[in-house]
């Protein structure tokens, strides 16, 4: 299997399956001499881990990261950083009923067709459990970027039809973690939580959106043509489980605008910097960052596993019924916030190290 690594200079390679002994990764390219806050890494993992609230899967994993190499006395030494996260609450018997059956909208069929074999226990390698490894690398990347004045913050901006209509500039993003759905609008968050809980009780699932902002991005990150900043970041985000789309700045709304309205007009600020009066470009022009905030929206589909019986077929093509059982999120977006931040950080630090 290829495709287990991401990044050029700052490069993450992950390994492991959902119900294996452990998942883990190797991070290359972290500059030597950087002081790493290990408690902060664990804090980021805690934001992603299962079983943290009534609107997430009740699988109980403490997700304690074990650093194996690359960090000595809290400081990077320039060698690859190896780490593992042990799986402690996997219940493989929960999946015995789909050993020979294809679950609707899962990777069961495609994995079986591609490799001729699959790990049916929780989806194996296709499980979102793998994203915990990305959060570890992202936490280190975020710390490094913050030391350079670059801050990354994501939040839930939609659950089902419940939408946060305010722009990120109108919100207090320090309030994102003050509720279990991770929406900075506290009143709207209550409605989102109630809705997710009602969907859970119905044995169903619901999708949503996450908005992410990268502040303090220097001008010049990104390479022309195939390695545009937003193209590589798009690949990073689209590699996250359940993501169906990404839009930057004005996004798909630009299709209905005129150029005279959409163009970001330049001006010189009081501190003699070139700025834009608007930011419909989302901080990227010609594939290169222009010094404005990079912001984007990420659409997530409803979780494919629902607690209802569904029609399907088995490996022989015979009609069958997939029983609704197991422990799964009714809505993935609250736990996906740190994952989106992580992939944004991994992309940004890689471009930063290339540029500087």
pLDDT at 90: 62
Q: What angle do CA 285, 289, 292 make, to 5 degrees?
A: 95
CA angle 204, 211, 336 (to 5 degrees): 50
- In the numeric block, which tokens belong to residue 176? 């994102």
Distance CA 344, CA 232 (A): 10
Cα–Cα distance between 54 and 334 in angstroms, integer?
11
Helix axes 131-147, 333-355, angle to 10 degrees: 50
Q: How far apart are CA 129 and CA 23, in angstroms?
A: 8
Low-confidence ranges of the chain (pLDDT < 50): none
Can you give the pLDDT at residue 323?
83
CATH number assigned to the domain comprising residue 285: 3.60.150.10
Count of C-beta atoms within a 10 Å radius of residue 201: 10
Q: Please identify which residue in the block is written with the tokens 């629902």.
A: 306
Domains identified in the chain, total number: 1
Helix (H, G, I), strand (E, B) or coil at 38: helix
Give the per-residue pLDDT at 296.
98
Distances (CA, A) of 134 to 30, 81, 118, 153, 294: 15, 13, 23, 16, 20
Say which residue the tokens 């801050």 belong to. Answer: 151
Tens digits of residue pLDDT in 297-332: 999 999 988 889 999 999 889 999 988 777 788 999
Distances (CA, A) of 156 to 144, 178, 179, 207, 313: 24, 12, 11, 11, 35
- Identify the domain containing residue 108 by its residue range: 5-355
Give the H/E segment covering residue 14.
Answer: strand 11-16
State the pLDDT at residue 91: 58
For residue 214, report the phi and psi dihedrals to the nearest 5 degrees. -110, 110
151, β-bridge pairs? 215
* Predicted pLDDT at 39: 97
């Amino acid at each position: 299997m290829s495709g287990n690594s991401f990044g050029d200079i700052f490069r993450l390679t992950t390994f492991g399956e959902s119900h294996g002994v452990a998942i883990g990764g190797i991070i290359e390219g972290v500059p030597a001499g950087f002081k790493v806050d290990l408690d902060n890494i664990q804090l980021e993992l805690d934001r992603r881990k299962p079983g943290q609230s009534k609107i997430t899967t009740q699988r109980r994993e403490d997700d304690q990261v074990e650093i194996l190499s690359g960090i000595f006395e809290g400081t990077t030494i320039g060698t690859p950083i190896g780490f593992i996260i042990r799986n402690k609450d996997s219940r493989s018997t929960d999946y015995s009923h789909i050993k020979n059956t294809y679950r609707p909208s899962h990777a069961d069929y495609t994995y079986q067709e591609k490799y001729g074999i699959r790990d049916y226990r929780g989806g194996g390698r296709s499980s979102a459990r793998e994203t915990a490894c990305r959060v570890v690398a992202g936490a280190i990347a975020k710390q490094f970027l913050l030391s350079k004045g670059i801050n990354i913050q994501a939040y839930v901006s939609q659950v089902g039809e419940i939408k946060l209509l305010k722009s990120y500039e109108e919100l207090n993003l320090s309030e994102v973690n003050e509720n279990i759905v991770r929406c900075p609008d506290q009143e709207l968050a209550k409605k989102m939580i109630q809705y997710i809980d009602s969907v859970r009780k119905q044995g169903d699932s619901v999708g949503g959106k996450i908005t992410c902002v990268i502040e303090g991005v220097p001008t010049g990150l990104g390479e022309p043509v195939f390695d545009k900043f937003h193209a590589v970041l798009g690949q990073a985000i689209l590699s996250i489980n359940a993501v169906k789309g990404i839009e930057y700045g004005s996004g798909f709304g630009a299709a209905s605008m005129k150029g005279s309205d959409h163009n970001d007009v330049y001006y010189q600020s009081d501190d003699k910097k070139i700025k834009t009066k608007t930011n419909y470009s989302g901080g990227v022009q010609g594939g290169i960052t222009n010094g404005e905030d990079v912001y984007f929206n990420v659409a997530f589909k409803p979780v494919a596993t629902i607690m209802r019986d569904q029609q399907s077929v088995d490996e022989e093509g015979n009609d069958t019924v997939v029983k609704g059982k197991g422990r799964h999120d009714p809505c993935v977006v609250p736990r996906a916030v740190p994952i989106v931040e992580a992939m944004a950080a991994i992309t940004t630090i890689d471009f930063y190290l290339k540029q500087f």
